[in-house]
Structure 1
């Protein structure tokens, strides 16, 4: 039960550390996973339910849109009910940023392309400083300042970085440096290039992601390509997988990306892709196992296999696994056959072993400390 860190990943780029509520971002802190609610912020019940679902999925920081005064009132009530770090997402009206900070926001995200004049930015900076909150300067390809867009012709990686550095300079001259930065495009490779350029210019923590990535499948793939490259190069301190629809899959995708690079603990399910040799419903079994593993942070490899070709070998190489056959499953634990079980009790038996291994891991960690 060890984290299998990828040998191809570069050391993390040194960055300064800031706080977003109880979450540290940058420095030596683990890369955190963020998401964003898509309910009407004024609807407290639905927004609260969504934030709790995100927390259950493993989200570290939640961002909430505050587009109007009704939403600001909803944000204030949400803050009273949630301990998870909350960031207010602000566009156009700096007064909403100030109001969200007064309501207890742990941070605000402002967009240089639409937040307004330096005077308005100064009001936000003053409020953040007074409240001990952080600011994300979040540049998007779709909303660059007009003069920068005209200068470059279209939102190139260089244009994104220029916009970001302009705002960084402005905020620094106001004496504020509790910043994290982002330069997001909708194309994976444009995003990668923008972050590469930005990482050479600043030591602020970087919030990485692909904006408007798309649907669950397409968006997850595009984001995984960009974030996999950046994280393997040591770039990135916090991330969001931006998908259309329910935000919970964003968190799961982000965690999977980090686990795949050996940057986050937690169980990893491997399952055979199925073919005509499959003698069990591997997809259903694997989905059930994944669901029941939610909330477990122990770094386990759990296998769900369905035929005699790779099944026994893959299950044997896992911390725990099942290889299904006609009405039965072989249960493997730590490289050895444990016993045969009926197919209808295979998942329960597997989870019993997972919980035992989790306790064993916890005890071992206590000894090491």
Structure 2
């Protein structure tokens, strides 16, 4: 088990539930726009939010943003340690910075001491796109071993000042490289891990890559917090993350739909039926499993684990609960009868 850090009071690691993160794409110094986006992300289920701090104008906005939101605020900083110090003073909840990229030992010490004084954790964010040149040469490119060695190099810079409030990410645009890096890191360190596959693309492919990479690691028991990186509205990142956590069996919220892929025995428009049920389930917050099956012969049996379900036939269908048939109903009443049964749960 990893050690635990606190990001604005939200536990990360140490057996705490995996948290969902996202990052704003508004100009951080536009406080109104940034706060509005964060509030939308809060509503969607984001638990920790990160903002880019490329200059002092952005750093000066951190305090005003922090005062108007309800989730922990992480600042994302590259190279300029003064920005980190300004954000710490402004009350940020965590700092994402690589100590190896901010200059001499005095600068690393200044950031470590400032964060330590206010109990603010630091996330070391190793990225395949910005891996140190000596490591690229040593390993012949971006490899899991190179990412891990880079992470330990940054960690050592903080540990020499007795700073251990650390979280680590090792991201690459390659799913296999990313997964291997996290597995390797988890074998050698107990620092909490921030999961993510970087530069995954737009919603469809980005979600697929993240589901494989992040979901695969979570299924192995690796990972403490996560961000799905998409070229899309950040809200889509949060929704995808929630689905990944449900698919990995780590979060039970709302209704889960299972449906068969159809075959030659199907005598109803199962695809339209499943889509209708899925849409209506958006209003259901009960942690239940609902099945939509296309065959009355073995549908209830195949979906016996579902709390409730329907199996369509030719002009009629079966309503069932935990695999047991409740009654037979006309096809045009199947969905309404299903949700009447859902209401009883």
- What's the TM-score once normalised by structure 1's chain length? 0.81
Q: 1:285 aligns with which of 276, 282, 291?
A: 276
Deviates more, 1:202-211 or 1:274-283: 274-283
Offset at residue 31 of structure 1 (A): 1.7
Deviates more, 1:198-207 or 1:328-337: 328-337
CA 1:169–1:341 in 2, change beyond 3 Å: closer, same or farther? farther
Question: What residue number does 2:291 align with?
Answer: 303
SS in 2 for 1:194: helix
SS in 1 for 2:21: strand
C-alpha separation between the residues in 2 aligned to 1:269 and 1:224?
Answer: 18
Question: What residue number does 1:346 align with?
Answer: 335
CA 1:336–1:309 in 2, change beyond 3 Å: closer, same or farther? closer
CA 1:71–1:184 in 2, change beyond 3 Å: closer, same or farther? same
Offset at residue 74 of structure 1 (A): 3.3
Question: What residue number does 1:77 align with?
Answer: 64
Question: What residue number does 1:269 align with?
Answer: 257
Q: Is the 8 A contact 2:228 2:238 kept in 1?
A: yes
Q: 2:31 aligns with which of 44, 55, 61?
A: 44
Q: Is the 8 A contact 2:100 2:153 kept in 1?
A: no
CA 1:311–1:72 in 2, change beyond 3 Å: closer, same or farther? farther
C-alpha separation between the residues in 2 aligned to 1:302 and 1:193?
Answer: 35
User: Larger C-alpha radius of gyration, 1 or 2?
Assistant: 2
5+ residue gaps in structure 1? 1-13, 358-369
**Superposition map of 1:133-152 within 5 A:** 133-152=120-139
**2:235 aligned with 1:248:** yes
Offset at residue 134 of structure 1 (A): 0.9
5+ residue gaps in structure 2? none
Q: Is the 8 A contact 1:33 1:238 kept in 2?
A: yes
Offset at residue 59 of structure 1 (A): 2.2
Q: 1:105 aligns with which of 82, 92, 102?
A: 92
CA 1:122–1:289 in 2, change beyond 3 Å: closer, same or farther? farther
CA 1:335–1:130 in 2, change beyond 3 Å: closer, same or farther? same
| Alignment RMSD | 2.9
Q: Is the 8 A contact 1:64 1:88 kept in 2?
A: yes
Q: Is the 8 A contact 2:300 2:323 kept in 1?
A: no
Alignment coverage as a number of residue pairs: 340
Offset at residue 149 of structure 1 (A): 2.6
CA 1:62–1:355 in 2, change beyond 3 Å: closer, same or farther? farther
**2:169 aligned with 1:178:** no
Q: 1:65 aligns with which of 52, 63, 66?
A: 52
CA 1:341–1:18 in 2, change beyond 3 Å: closer, same or farther? farther
SS in 1 for 2:145: helix
C-alpha separation between the residues in 2 aligned to 1:211 and 1:28?
Answer: 25
C-alpha separation between the residues in 1 aligned to 2:324 and 2:200?
Answer: 43
C-alpha separation between the residues in 1 aligned to 2:36 and 2:231?
Answer: 18
Offset at residue 128 of structure 1 (A): 1.3
Q: Is the 8 A contact 1:315 1:332 kept in 2?
A: no
